[in-house]
Amino acid sequence: MNIQKTIAQLRDELHQHNYNYYVLDAPTISDFEFDQLLDKLQRLEKEHPEFSDDNSPTQRVGGAVTKNFETVTHKNRMYSLSNSYSKEDLLDWEGRIKKLVDGEVHYTCELKYDGASINLTYKDGFLHSAVTRGDGEKGDDVTANVKTIKSVPLKLSGDFPKEFEIRGEIILPIDGFNKMNEERLEIGEEPYRNPRNTASGSLKLQDSAEVAKRPLECLLYSIKSDNLNADNQFESLQKARNWGFKVPNEAKLVRNIDEVLSYIAFWDKQRHYLPYEIDGVVVKVNSFTQQDELGFTAKSPRWAMAYKFKSEQVSTLLNAITYQVGRTGAITPVANLEPVELAGTIVKRASLHNADIIEKLDVRVGDSVFVEKGGEIIPKIIAVDFTKRLPNSSPTQYLTHCPECDTRLVRVEGEAQHYCPNYNGCKPQIIGRIQHFISRKAMDIDGLGAETVTLLVNAGLISNYSDLFDLTKEQVIPLERMADKSAENLINGIEASKSIPFERVLFALGIRYVGETVAKKLVKHYKNIDAIAQSSYEELKNVDEIGEKIAESVKVFFESEENQNILRRLRSFGVKLEIDESELVNQTEKLKGKTFVVSGVFENISRNELKKLIEDNGGKVASSISSKTSYVVAGSDMGPSKRTKAESLNIPIISEIDFLNKLV
């Protein structure tokens, strides 16, 4: 038989056996027989390297060593989910949904797997890349490591799209985790803390052969494709199963929120019998058309909600209260605790938030306190065990002066937090602002991390973020852990950041209350930094979605002589402080002052493209119809209640062609 054909047949046969064993849990041959086939394929591939294939089953044993994981921008952003903790939260969510979409709403309920999020890309039926979630915009390429996970198909079967992304969670089953810990204890090593952290850490191991030794699994739950040929979430899960992915059968299609609550109640009790850990249930609007109509907030999809099971609580001793200074000068009190295990990790510190919370809880040093992980992530004190309070205990007196620079703290009326007003002289504020400036969603400076910023400030090399652009390689080489190559990368990263778009530069400046969304609104309205700086308080308030607090904060920032000097330096270094002409090519003010609601399915352009056209031409997109709506752009399958409301308010309903003609 032809060698190339034999190799191809062996690969197909082994792919199928992998699928039978690791996905279907229904092997058709013994482990010995599988190993025999794999050995034969490895031998043939070694003898005939001209027929090598990165997606061969032999690649699952690992061997590739990755010293630095490449950072990759996600084609489709990986949003986080909004959380709910009660029936009332879910009913409120359902109420918001029904205001925004018409018709009956069905839901897909899925278990919320407790692992590490992953985004897999397939091209022509073969695994092309595997990228971690990262910050949602960018993640690390861990393809070599993920190829070693047996439940990740390297080759698909069926009617899959030519190219698509599929998202899931890398998890470590409980039995496998326990076995790993037994082996570590036998050799005198510390056991791993929990399956979730161990799974996440496995993806960043440098040697993929080590990853291959770990019993990781990949559970999939979401497909991103322009030609999926499925109308809803539940159908897409079935398609993924048919192509070869491990999609848990616990997912269920339900008709209403009562059935959602029944599903949650069942799994809250039954979760302890699962082979892997879950921390809740994810509820998704089933219809893709309705999902599309609901869209996204700045952080999460409106059509999905994570219901989190009740947090684990423990009791421990409060040894001390210390205070941290943030980049805006905000003071955060921190409880220093007697170390205690909580949800698989050792907790030593917990946030006390502000003076009001301390007073409300009446928490004092020496108290026994109850601690839980809010949203299973951040430890917080929820109550004091007053039965164990010491007789000589006295109420906590909140800090009056900054713990770093000894400046007297201020508290603005109506705000919960105290602030250190020493904006330019308080070191944690200086370091925090620069760390924010270089962060991924801001200037994204390669080669420069938070620790290096601290070193640079402490060495007196920088005192604000404009100083970064004055640094030389010779200045940074003497820093701790800084070699010739890393110093060169840092300087190159700073130089490359000069091409970052203006809206991200504005966000990077760290103006209080000016997040990513507000920065985009200001940039779209004003086009350059000078126009923003010269705008009056009243003018700022008239910008879309800019309220009094934001307007006041922007004015205070630009009135500072120190900030004006920093901006002049940034301009002299070539940092972008205005929109590029190329960005303005397709932008007009033709729709200025007009508010649009987009509803239905469109033929010529996608819903997102239509919304972008509205915003690029000065209009505003709203999610629901009101008396302020100028037009409803209607596609096919527009909901009858939306049409009725538009007609009752005498709001014009136009087609996508009518809309496009307005831009001509």
Q: Count how many residues are written for the chain.
A: 664
CA atoms within 13 A on the CB side of 327: 17
**CATH architecture type of domain 595-662:** 3-Layer(aba) Sandwich (3.40)
Residue 376: the pLDDT is: 45
Catalytic residue among 75, 99, 112, 592: 112
Extract the runs of DSSP E, i.e. beta strands, from 62-206.
Answer: 71-73, 83-84, 107-113, 116-123, 126-132, 138-140, 163-171
pLDDT in tens, 38-62: 778 878 877 787 777 777 777 665 5
- Mean pLDDT of all residues in the chain? 88
Residue 403 binned pLDDT confidence (cut-offs 50, 70, 90): very high
Task: Determine the pLDDT at residue 568.
Answer: 96
Each residue of 406-451: pLDDT tens digit? 999 999 887 888 999 998 899 999 999 999 999 988 999 988 888 8
CA distances from 475 to 245, 470, 472, 491 (A): 52, 10, 5, 10
Percent helix / strand / coil, the chain, rounded to 5: 40, 20, 40
Residues 130-152 pLDDT 10s: 999 988 888 999 999 999 999 99
In this prediction, residue 550 carries a pLDDT of 92
pLDDT per position as a tens digit, 585-636: 667 788 888 899 998 888 888 887 888 888 888 888 887 888 889 999 988 7
Phi/psi region, residue 633 (left: phi>0; alpha: psi -120 to 50; beta: rest), is beta
Rounded-to-integer distance, Cα 131 and Cα 120, Å: 7
Residue 31 burial (10 A CB sphere; 0-12, 13-18, 19+): exposed
**CB neighbour list of residue 538: distance below 8 Å, 6 or more residues apart:** none
Q: Parallel, antiparallel, or unpaired: how do β-strands 653-654 and 631-634 relate?
A: parallel
Given a cut of 90, whether residue 223 has pLDDT beyond it is: yes
Helices (H), 48-135: 87-100
Q: Is 112 a catalytic residue?
A: yes
Instruction: Give CA–CA dist 300/540, Å, rounded.
Output: 27
**Number of other CB atoms surrounding residue 624 within 10 Å:** 13
Q: Does domain 83-308 have CATH number 3.30.470.30?
A: yes
The predicted structure's pLDDT at residue 338: 96
Level-2 CATH architecture, domain 502-584: Orthogonal Bundle (1.10)
Question: How many other C-beta atoms are found inside a 10 Å radius of the C-beta of residue 287?
Answer: 23
Selection from 233, 228, 293, 235 nearest residue 601 by Cα: 293
Domain at 427-499, CATH homologous superfamily = 5' to 3' exonuclease, C-terminal subdomain (1.10.150.20)
Contacts of 493 (CB under 8 A, 6+ apart): 445, 446, 447, 448
Question: What pLDDT score was predicted for residue 466?
Answer: 96
pLDDT reading at 542 higher than 70:
yes
Distance, in Å, from the CA atom of 344 to the CA atom of 324, rounded to the nearest integer, reads 26
340-378 pLDDT, tens per residue? 988 667 889 998 989 999 999 999 999 999 998 754 456
Domains of the chain, by residue range, sit at 3-61, 83-308, 427-499, 502-584, 595-662
| Per-residue model confidence (pLDDT) at position 377 | 55
Answer with the residue of higher pLDDT: 36 or 470.
Answer: 470
Question: What is the rounded average pLDDT of the residues 502-523?
Answer: 90
Give yes or no on whether 3-61 and 595-662 have one common fold: no
End-to-end alpha carbon distance in the chain? 64
The CATH class of the 3-61 domain is: mainly alpha
pLDDT at 572 over 80: yes
